[in-house]
């Protein structure tokens, strides 16, 4: 397996282009199943998860063409040949469950494997199923598959989530577009990816109100048509690269960056002594002083601090002045990067969902292992500021969520290279 070697090399300078959002694109792609007309996505990220979703849609009979070096996805589901999403594909990526709602809404049937995914704790799909049942779906779980039917089509209803779930909100929103009557989704997720999905569905002819709030109302329509839609900027990639100059100094402009996508994150950077400035092309980031101030962080659903930036923030706080406390409230088992950062000299004490980080003067390069997508990039960030070389193994996780990470960091002066495995 490939490894990435990072050597601390001082301040960074230059520009990093931010790609379209992985999580948004993985949600938008299944929307093609709602219509027999073409759906085209621009600003698509070039990632292994996108290829996995492409393979899943193709297995159902959808046509997906990757154009302009992968930045444009032209899709058509005019003639679905299957309504079964097989385990062999679904196990690779949890977002695969998002084909369930669209297939059920359009054709009244779907058989979808229960998903696998990354090892950051239990991420059950029961809220997805509860939402579809509220729209009249008949569900049967057997042999590791969800067998779903709606012989007379889905019917509008009230979906009341006990807690916020991004994926379940997305599945419910897509299913509701073709349900007969009005659907009200309460305790809906507010993430930018939800808003982006609603914008795309509205272009396809859906009648949706309230996206970005905790109550979304959908008036079902008989059919949806084709559309072209740009994928929203990836706020997690944006936040990740904002931390690069924060960790090792210098100033970097993130092209395409938007403060509204990372507001709570920017507030914490400000507390830590990091200056974020809006430019005509994105966001510029630099330290106000040589040192970083300790801050406390609690992950929350949007618009709070994103769980997907917690590992990267821990890398920053590992060299801050003082003691920081990070509280993880979204996923359990999401501090698996802490022992690897400790191999580099970080002082971290983990108890349940809380990690206490005592800043040290300098991290030291070491061989470390990535345990999940965000953990892998946190180790790379730590390596940027460490003394000596850091070798990050199992970087296949990285390919799921960051396109050209080595090239982008090299472009701002980082000493980083990818080494093929034996």
Binding-site sequence positions for phosphoenolpyruvate: 22-23
Residue identified by tokens 């990039």 is: 377
Opening angle at CA 416, ends 413 and 417, nearest 5? 135
Residues contributing to the annotated binding site: 22-23, 94, 123-127, 308, 330
Residues contributing to the annotated binding site for UDP-N-acetyl-alpha-D-glucosamine: 94, 123-127, 308, 330
Closest CA to 209 of 180, 235, 188, 231: 188
Whole-Å CA distances, 63 to 25, 77, 134, 205, 323: 16, 6, 31, 21, 52
Whole-Å CA distances, 161 to 112, 356, 422: 22, 32, 48
- Residues in Cβ contact with 210 at an 8 Å cutoff, skipping those fewer than 6 apart: 188, 216, 217
Distance in angstroms (rounded) separating the CA atoms of residues 75 and 227: 10
Whole-Å CA distances, 394 to 47, 66, 94, 368, 378: 16, 27, 20, 9, 13
Helix 373-385 to helix 235-248 angle (10° resolution) is 20
Instruction: Look up 200 and say whether it is catalytic.
Output: no
- Which 8-state DSSP code applies to residue 364? B
Q: Across the beta sheet with 215-219, what order do the strands follow?
A: 158-160, 182-186, 215-219, 207-209
**Which is catalytic among the residues 118, 200, 248, 266?**
118
- Residues in Cβ contact with 327 at an 8 Å cutoff, skipping those fewer than 6 apart: 296, 297, 298, 299, 353, 354
SS3 content of the chain, % helix, strand, coil (to 5): 35, 30, 40
Distance in angstroms (rounded) separating the CA atoms of residues 184 and 190: 15
- Which 8-state DSSP code applies to residue 33? G
Catalytic positions: 118
């Amino acid at each position: 397996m490939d490894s990435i070697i990072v050597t601390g090399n001082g301040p960074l300078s230059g520009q990093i282009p931010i790609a379209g959002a992985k999580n948004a694109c993985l949600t938008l792609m299944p929307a093609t199943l709602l219509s027999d007309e073409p759906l085209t996505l621009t600003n698509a990220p070039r990632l292994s998860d996108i290829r996995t979703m492409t393979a899943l849609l193709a297995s159902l009979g959808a046509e997906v063409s990757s154009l302009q070096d992968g930045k444009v996805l032209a899709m058509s589901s005019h003639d679905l040949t299957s309504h079964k999403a097989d385990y062999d594909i679904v196990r690779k990526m949890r977002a695969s469950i998002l084909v369930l709602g669209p297939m059920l809404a359009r054709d009244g049937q779907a058989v979808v494997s229960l998903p696998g995914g990354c090892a950051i704790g239990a991420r059950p799909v029961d809220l997805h199923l509860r939402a579809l049942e509220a729209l009249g779906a008949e569900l049967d779980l057997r042999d590791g598959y969800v067998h779903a039917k709606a012989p007379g089509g889905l019917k509008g209803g009230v979906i009341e989530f006990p807690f916020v779930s991004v994926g379940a909100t997305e599945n419910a929103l897509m299913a509701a577009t073709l349900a007969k009557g009005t659907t009200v989704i309460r305790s809906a997720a507010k993430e930018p990816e939800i808003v982006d999905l609603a914008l795309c569905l509205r272009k396809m002819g859906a009648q949706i109100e309230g996206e970005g709030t905790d109550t979304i109302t959908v008036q079902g329509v008989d059919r949806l048509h084709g559309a072209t839609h740009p994928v929203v900027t990836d706020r997690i990639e944006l936040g990740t690269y904002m931390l690069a100059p924060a960790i090792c100094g210098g100033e970097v402009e993130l092209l395409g960056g938007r403060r509204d996508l990372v507001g709570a994150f920017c507030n914490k950077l400000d507390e830590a002594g990091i200056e974020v400035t809006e430019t005509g092309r994105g966001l510029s980031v630099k330290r106000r002083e040589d040192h970083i101030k300790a801050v406390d962080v609690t992950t929350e659903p949007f618009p709070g601090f994103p769980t997907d930036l917690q590992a990267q923030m821990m890398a920053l706080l590992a060299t801050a002045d003082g003691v920081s406390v990070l509280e993880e409230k979204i996923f359990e088992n999401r501090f698996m990067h802490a022992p690897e950062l400790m191999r580099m000299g970080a002082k971290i004490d983990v108890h349940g969902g809380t990690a206490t980080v005592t800043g040290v003067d300098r991290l030291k390069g070491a061989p470390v292992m990535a345990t999940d997508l965000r953990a892998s990039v946190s180790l790379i960030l730590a390596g940027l500021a460490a003394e000596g070389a850091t070798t990050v193994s199992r970087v296949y996780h990285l390919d799921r969520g960051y396109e050209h990470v080595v090239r982008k960091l090299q472009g701002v002066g980082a000493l980083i290279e990818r080494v093929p495995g034996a």
